[in-house]
Structure 1
Amino acid sequence: MGIPISWGTIKSLLLFFGPMLLPKAIGYYRTLRAGPAAQGLRIRPVSPQVARTLYALAITVLIYLVISFPFFAPENLFVRTQSRLQIPTDVLFTRLIAMRPGNILTDADQVLRAKFVNLESRLLYLQFGPDVLADCPFCNSDDSRSYFYYAFPALLAPHLLNLAVLSTATSDWLSGREGPRWRTTVVMTSSLIAALDVYLVHSYNYQANSRATRLVDLDMHYWDMRTYRAVALALRHESRLRCAPDPAERVEAATRALLLTKSKVNAVGIIKNTSIRDEDLRRRVEAYWTHEGRLMREVMEEREVIEGVNDALENRINIDAISRDAESYATNMLPRAQEDAQVAGQQVVG
């Protein structure tokens, strides 16, 4: 168990990091929401089948998060009695008797009392929890792997349940045609999470707690892993179905975007050809740019303009914002230019 963090410390951290992290989080969320539209992808409304699936997964996420609360975790005798790991067994259970209804130990308490006679059993208690230590009929503290073998089915049970829920959610009869495309991803990710969970429990160095002389120095591995497991499963469900377009729809959207870009380029070419072929327009264009170049040189030589440019450079103007404004202006202007070019082209042909 790590060092406890007070609510005041949490509020101080939120006040310090909140102003920096909140705008970034909002910007990331907006970018994520606008991603499909920016790529020219058509955003489809959620079908009733997928909506029902999302509701079911949201309820499952809520259940996993509630289960992760310490209130629903099995009792930790050392935390309950505020005792260190090396406390004498009689003293530990004398404290526990005072906290039990009627000052009577339960059957599980009696079994643990009989097994807490050595430090090895207490270390295994912190690794595998009270149920494994109290219920295993063949386990022996001399062979720590026997406790892992007994705990293995219970360790896999939530992952198998998670896989069953996600497999049902991605079935075609529940989520329609959107679900099956996620089946492989669901199975692979769930299997990786289960394998990682088993590995962390199996490879845990439970002997490290033997050097802890205070309660706050103990690593409550079983209770920590229980919380992490529930949160990981909740996050796995939260990354639920996203109705991504089919590859054919993506190709179609990209093709439409390319055709639109080509039409804009053609419009610019028509305008340029029209202005160059017409003698009067060509003279006007040349006169305009000659006058514009002379005027801009004169403007840039004025003292106020030079001071303004220097001031803008010193204050580091937002080039990104200016680029976005210029891009938006050009995008809005090209459709009108395309219409004008079509009219001009019809006049030239006529």
Structure 2
Amino acid sequence: MDFFEFMDEYAPELTTASSTISFVLFAGPWLLPRGLAFYRSIRSAGQGPNSNVRPPPPRVQRCLSLLFGFALVCLVLTLPYFSTPNIFKATGSRLGLPTKLLTSRLHALREGKLAPSEQLFLEKLEQEPQKWEAPKDHALLYAAYGPDVVLQCPFCSIEQPKSYLYYALPAILGWHILHIFLLGAITSTFISGKEGARWRTHATIAGVALAVIEFYKTYTYSWEANALRRQLEDVDWFYWNMRMYRQLAFAAIDGVLGWFMWLTSTNRWLVEPASITEQLNEATQTLADSFAQINIVSSLRNAIVRDNELRAKQDEYWLANAQETRNIESEREVIDARNIAISRMDINRLKTTYDNILEHWFASL
């Protein structure tokens, strides 16, 4: 293999590797410090007074389960088993293969049992004039927009190829509208509470941006891009590639949203202090619980005092407790430990500290 043959064969791979290295060298110094700062902020999130790490609330747990399920479904849909069949790849045929030869290969592969959609597509190819060493327009549209668009469009014609694009766009946007609706539902206050609602705008922007990107890529894609590609491995299967990228992007957005919701709901990142209303409600609830406990203790105390037998048992218990405490304090080990602790105390420092506290308390009097 000479130099020119080597470059012809490996030029695309070398170009991709060179682009990747250039991107890493350009963006690495900018991304690395921010990634480390983000990691440190998560690690130190539990050190603030209002940022105690906690388990995610039940609402957020349900939303995380839903997001995980959606992401898993999207990843499963990228598998070839769930993809739309591609008769050219299934038969190993190039786009410019004569229709009769493609038909014979497909019959051999399916053992003569063709699906109605495959039979209809072969009929469309048969009706179109054969081009010299070039793919037919239906084959090019098949690679660009998929078999469903080519076979089911009621108003499309080969004389107006843009009509296939107009028929394909609503179906593409339908997936994105469904995804945006799911993101909006999961980040609503009714379903996920305030922990999910804080990400509602970001999730909506991400979903809309993804829809705009695919709309732009599809609208600007040239359906004749494969006209000069003779080999099967050189064909750009735009419909199948975009379908895979769409599902991967859905899974990535759902995964990142779930991760962010988990970080913020557990007070590991972007901790927000409680509002005045929440603090007042929490203090009121604490006082109400304390008041209820005091009432219970008071009722129990009154019942004990009014009953002679219970009052006698109470007095007996406290006398025994006082005697046990005196016995413990009179042990030699306890006395020695207490003396050692007192000898290690800085009396002057304690006196200064308590004086400062008293001065602060009585400064306003």
With the length of structure 1 as denominator, give the TM-score of the two structures: 0.61
Aligned to 1:178: 195
Letter in 2 for 1:120: D
For the pair shown, the structure with the greater C-alpha radius of gyration is: 2
Q: Does 1:104 align with 2:113?
A: yes
**Percent identity between the two aligned chains:** 33
Q: Does 1:73 align with 2:90?
A: no
- Give the one of 159, 168, 173 matched to 2:185: 168
Root mean square deviation of aligned Cα: 3.1
Aligned to 1:87: 97
Shift of 1:180: 1.9
Letter in 2 for 1:138: F
Shift of 1:150: 1.0
Q: Does 1:36 align with 2:45?
A: yes
What runs of 5+ residues in structure 1 fail to find an aligned partner?
A: 4-23, 251-338
Aligned to 1:120: 137
Distance in 1 separating the partners of 2:75 and 2:42? 25
Aligned 1:180-329 pairs, distance under 5 A: 180-239=197-256, 240=258, 241=261, 242-243=264-265, 245=270, 247-248=272-273
Deviations 1:164-222 (A, max 9, x none): 21122112221122122222222221111111111111111222211111101111111
Is the 8 Å Cα contact of residues 180 and 207 (structure 2) preserved in structure 1? yes
Distance in 1 separating the partners of 2:176 and 2:44? 32
3-state SS in 1 of match to 2:227:
helix
Aligned to 1:129: 146
3-state SS in 2 of match to 1:210:
coil
3-state SS in 1 of match to 2:84:
coil
Distance in 1 separating the partners of 2:169 and 2:197? 30
Aligned 1:326-337 pairs, distance under 5 A: none
Shift of 1:39: 7.2
Deviations 1:253-304 (A, max 9, x none): xxxxxxxxxxxxxxxxxxxxxxxxxxxxxxxxxxxxxxxxxxxxxxxxxxxx
Distance in 2 separating the partners of 1:221 and 1:32? 41
Deviations 1:8-50 (A, max 9, x none): xxxxxxxxxxxxxxxx9xx969647415247774333210111
Distance in 1 separating the partners of 2:247 and 2:197? 25
Distance in 2 separating the partners of 1:83 and 1:49? 52
- Give the one of 70, 74, 83 matched to 1:60: 70
3-state SS in 1 of match to 2:198:
helix
Q: Does 1:343 align with 2:349?
A: yes
Aligned to 2:287: none
Aligned to 1:45: 55
3-state SS in 1 of match to 2:97:
coil
Letter in 1 for 2:96: Q
Distance 1:47 1:108, change over 3 A: same
Distance 1:110 1:35, change over 3 A: farther
Is the 8 Å Cα contact of residues 96 and 230 (structure 2) preserved in structure 1? yes
Shift of 1:105: 2.2
Distance 1:346 1:167, change over 3 A: same
With the length of structure 2 as denominator, give the TM-score of the two structures: 0.59
Q: How many corresponding residue pairs?
A: 238
Distance in 1 separating the partners of 2:48 and 2:160? 59
Shift of 1:344: 8.0
3-state SS in 1 of match to 2:225:
helix
Is the 8 Å Cα contact of residues 45 and 271 (structure 2) preserved in structure 1? no
3-state SS in 1 of match to 2:226:
helix
Distance 1:75 1:35, change over 3 A: farther
Distance in 1 separating the partners of 2:237 and 2:40? 40
Is the 8 Å Cα contact of residues 186 and 196 (structure 2) preserved in structure 1? yes
- Give the one of 158, 162, 169 matched to 2:175: 158
What runs of 5+ residues in structure 2 fail to find an aligned partner?
A: 1-9, 11-31, 130-135, 276-344, 357-365
Letter in 1 for 2:114: L
Aligned to 2:160: 143
